[in-house]
Structure 1
Amino acid sequence: MKSRCPVALDTSGSDIHAEGASIRENGPVSQVELPGGVLAWSVAGQRAAHQVLSDRRFSKDPRKHWVDYLNGKVDENFPLIGWVLMDNLTTSYGNDHSRLRKPCANAFTPRRVEALRPAVERTATGLLDELAALPPTEPVDLKARYSHPLPSQVICDLFGVPEQDRMEMLRGGEINVDTSISAEEAAANVERWHQQMLEFVESKRQFPGADLTSDLVAAQEEDSSRLTDSEMVGTLHIMLATGTEPVKNLISNAVFALLTHPEQLELVGNDRATWEDVIQETLRVQAPVAHLPFRFAVEDVEIDGVEIKRGDPLLVNFAAIGRDPEVHGETADRFDITRTNKDHLSFGQGIYRCIGQPLALQEAEIALRALFERFPHLTLAVPPEEINAQGTFIMNGLDTLPVLLKEDA
């Protein structure tokens, strides 16, 4: 028996995987209901996702290709309006997307990312030193004390964000993925976030430094056609948010998976598996981004036998894609770092592949290796079922990750 169609997405994101399974029951591409009663398509099958992510007939620009938005049927009262108002890589198409991608993509080549390794290692060591100084009998929220600050410090250092401003500037990205907030809160967040970034960019014009934001400002002044002020702000929005949010989930999800599957962790310790195996399997079975808005059909398109009309919105359901039984069989839901096929699309694909992928993988590898070397007897502080989800259908993470730190058995 098929599940209700369309599936109304749970704004609390209380059970991402059960919801993904319900969506998949209706097919690899099926309709879902977004907050505000807006209908969209959810792409939950890996084969269909490959097509959507590589097909130029799908745009990310709502201001050009979302017909209902252009006709006023979707307005400022839409609870996910923040994903429409942003002006960056997540909302651009064609030549605009290529133009916006280029200035930052060069900073994340494998060579440049490898040069960042010592800085990432120092950050991890410093955070672990702080954890080691805490009482070992008291629970510690590893997400708040390690998984989040590691990538946030690295990305903020890279873009030259002053330490005293980091918490507030990153807060905009955290609110933007909260699917439980109202339309008014979403719009106010984008406005506040935009103003913060404008002020930050102006500070870099006045006092440039050895950071990527200063480089972007200098490039804009040399050639104003590269980035408008709005695009500059939007670029910083997406780089700071995606440089933090998915990576913290990847690290936390991997730690949680290993602590609830100790036999898998033992394989890494016995050199029968690698940290890369852990990371790739975590990305597959616990994609850090669950249900990403938006794509829009620029013309009528058929995907896996389903006709998508021009202007229809789509969400890519990365959490469901990684567990596609057509690809991973009956064990698709099982965390198994020894499986041969760990295929996933958690970083996207082709021209829309996440440009920060090399850095994210490096941060996760350093974070996990260093954590379990320092605390080889790390355990959860509460039963696994008491740890709640992050509280959004856009991200797939944990609300907290309470652990007990044990350097010795």
Structure 2
Amino acid sequence: MGEIVDLGEYAGGSAEFFADPYPVYERLRRLGPVHHVRTPGPGPTEELWLIVGHEAARAAFTDPRLVKTPPWGLDGSDVGRHLLFTDPPEHGRLRSLVTREFTPRRVAALAPRIQKITDELLDDMVPRGSADLVAALAFPLPFVVICELLGVPDIDRGRFRRMSIQIVAPTSGEEEAAAFFEITAFLDELIEDKRCTAPADDLLSALIRTTAEDGDRLSSHELRGMAFLLLVAGHETSVNLIGNGVRALLDHPGQLADLRADMSLLDGAVEEMLRYDGPVETATHRFAAEPVDIDGTVIPAGAPVLVGIGTAGRDPERFEVPDRFDIRRDARGHLAFGHGIHYCLGAPLARMEGRIAIRSLLERCPDLALDGEPDSWLPGMLMRGVRTLPVRW
């Protein structure tokens, strides 16, 4: 396709695209693996290149010509150098320093605490008979977990939710810039407080102290960037995994009944939730370091590129009858957490939170059902989820 595809117009409107982008992605996949597109509003719109389809996306994730560092450098909204804005060898250095402390053992040890937080949230929610599942469970659970993991003191949940949403799903450039400024100031103060207090066991304190064998450490700028990445990405993915996963179950009562009857299906069900309607719709921006030819279409040097994760999960070349939600499907190989060197560090934590939250919710609410339509889908093409999910039991 030579023309620019306006994704909102292609779907019949921006709201329609955000509610269900998959038919648009299917039409694009049939035409080829890469397209010059205009992103839908509200919020900042862009002209960029979108890669669709499972194999094309998987290849793009490991293509050294598609880099993470913007060719013009970082602007004033930058909160610090972190893994999503860096390429080798800097990326390997940062990831090595972070994984020294953000270990599988540290994540696994969180399971009892995640269960306790879930139980407390459900204790408050269940007697009411109905709730917005996002506000009552899907948001507060991963938010409290990541704050405790990082050692973030009590902060206003409403304020943080507003900042986080404006960063991952902005409705205007001004609101997005204000949210970046606000969270940057918050993180600077938090890091300085931790430097000046007695050593603690939390992850952020450990990252401040950690030193590689050669004496390398995270700079203040890098610490702020990594704290931002862990705090925002560390909860947003889980919020939408829980919300989208529960909505998929409630939209497919036969699958819900099967899971209730056999909870040994839960691990596979979570993988199917990630494939079918995962929390991340497209990966964060990449840039063409040189002209990149993909199946005869050339992405010009310097152009921004989005790798489609949601479209990869619905590719019929990879998954049979991909629009069918089937918790018994072997969904392994999906790209919900990316692929290659930028594979999501927090994937084990998100999976654990999803399994615990969904199992506990179904056990405590045997008659769980939707209580109206979701209020609105998040705008933008980064995170896939709803602002509210009304349910009753």
TM-score, with structure 1 as normaliser: 0.85
Looking at structure 1, the residues matched to 163 and 92 of structure 2 have their Cα atoms a distance apart, in angstroms, of 25
* TM-superposed deviation, 1:163: 1.4
User: Which string of whole-angstrom CA distances, capped at 9 and with x for unpartnered residues, describes residues 291-330 of structure 1?
Assistant: 233011222333333323322211121111110122124x
Q: Corresponding residue for 2:53?
A: 45
1:197 aligned to which of 187, 190, 194? 187
User: Which string of whole-angstrom CA distances, capped at 9 and with x for unpartnered residues, describes residues 186-230 of structure 1?
Assistant: 222222211110001001111242201111122379988422212
Q: Corresponding residue for 2:177?
A: 187
Please say if residues 268 and 331 of structure 2, whose CA atoms lie closer than 8 Å, have aligned partners that are also in contact.
Answer: no
Looking at structure 1, the residues matched to 255 and 246 of structure 2 have their Cα atoms a distance apart, in angstroms, of 11
* TM-superposed deviation, 1:167: 4.9
Is residue 355 from structure 1 mapped to residue 345 from structure 2 by the alignment?
yes
Looking at structure 2, the residues matched to 387 and 4 of structure 1 have their Cα atoms a distance apart, in angstroms, of 34
* TM-superposed deviation, 1:21: 3.0
* Cα distance change on mapping 1:33 and 1:142 into 2, 3 Å: same
Is residue 104 from structure 1 mapped to residue 109 from structure 2 by the alignment?
no
The residue identity in structure 2 corresponding to 1:389 is W
The residue identity in structure 2 corresponding to 1:185 is E
Looking at structure 2, the residues matched to 226 and 170 of structure 1 have their Cα atoms a distance apart, in angstroms, of 31
User: Which string of whole-angstrom CA distances, capped at 9 and with x for unpartnered residues, describes residues 145-169 of structure 1?
Assistant: 1011111111110000111355544
Looking at structure 2, the residues matched to 170 and 235 of structure 1 have their Cα atoms a distance apart, in angstroms, of 19
1:260 aligned to which of 240, 251, 255? 251
Please say if residues 300 and 310 of structure 1, whose CA atoms lie closer than 8 Å, have aligned partners that are also in contact.
Answer: yes
Please say if residues 322 and 343 of structure 1, whose CA atoms lie closer than 8 Å, have aligned partners that are also in contact.
Answer: no
Q: Corresponding residue for 2:25?
A: 20
Q: Corresponding residue for 1:116?
A: 110
Q: Corresponding residue for 1:7?
A: 6
Looking at structure 2, the residues matched to 15 and 228 of structure 1 have their Cα atoms a distance apart, in angstroms, of 42
Looking at structure 2, the residues matched to 3 and 14 of structure 1 have their Cα atoms a distance apart, in angstroms, of 27
Q: Corresponding residue for 1:141?
A: 132
Secondary structure of the residue aligned to 1:55 is coil
* Cα distance change on mapping 1:289 and 1:100 into 2, 3 Å: same
Q: Corresponding residue for 2:378?
A: 390
Number of residue pairs matched by the alignment:
383
Looking at structure 1, the residues matched to 144 and 2 of structure 2 have their Cα atoms a distance apart, in angstroms, of 43
The residue identity in structure 1 corresponding to 2:354 is A
Secondary structure of the residue aligned to 1:326 is coil
Looking at structure 2, the residues matched to 363 and 272 of structure 1 have their Cα atoms a distance apart, in angstroms, of 16
The residue identity in structure 2 corresponding to 1:362 is M
Q: Corresponding residue for 1:399?
A: 387
Q: Structure 1: which 5+ runs fail to align?
A: none
* Cα distance change on mapping 1:215 and 1:37 into 2, 3 Å: closer
Q: Corresponding residue for 2:289?
A: 298
Q: Corresponding residue for 1:336?
A: 326
2:358 aligned to which of 358, 361, 368? 368
Looking at structure 1, the residues matched to 90 and 116 of structure 2 have their Cα atoms a distance apart, in angstroms, of 37
User: Which string of whole-angstrom CA distances, capped at 9 and with x for unpartnered residues, describes residues 72-115 of structure 1?
Assistant: xxx97xxxx85x66531111111211122223324444333221
User: Which string of whole-angstrom CA distances, capped at 9 and with x for unpartnered residues, describes residues 248-301 of structure 1?
Assistant: 100111111111111101112232861112111111110201123301122233
* Cα distance change on mapping 1:271 and 1:335 into 2, 3 Å: same
Please say if residues 147 and 248 of structure 1, whose CA atoms lie closer than 8 Å, have aligned partners that are also in contact.
Answer: yes
Q: Corresponding residue for 2:68?
A: 60
Q: Structure 2: which 5+ runs fail to align?
A: none
Secondary structure of the residue aligned to 2:391 is strand
TM-score, with structure 2 as normaliser: 0.89
Looking at structure 2, the residues matched to 103 and 221 of structure 1 have their Cα atoms a distance apart, in angstroms, of 7
2:123 aligned to which of 112, 121, 129? 129
Please say if residues 168 and 383 of structure 2, whose CA atoms lie closer than 8 Å, have aligned partners that are also in contact.
Answer: yes
Q: Corresponding residue for 1:33?
A: 38
* TM-superposed deviation, 1:116: 1.3
Aligned pairs for 1:239-250 (under 5 A) are: 239-250=230-241
Looking at structure 2, the residues matched to 222 and 229 of structure 1 have their Cα atoms a distance apart, in angstroms, of 19
Please say if residues 234 and 346 of structure 2, whose CA atoms lie closer than 8 Å, have aligned partners that are also in contact.
Answer: yes
Please say if residues 170 and 176 of structure 2, whose CA atoms lie closer than 8 Å, have aligned partners that are also in contact.
Answer: no
1:312 aligned to which of 295, 303, 306? 303
Coordinate RMSD, CA, aligned: 2.7
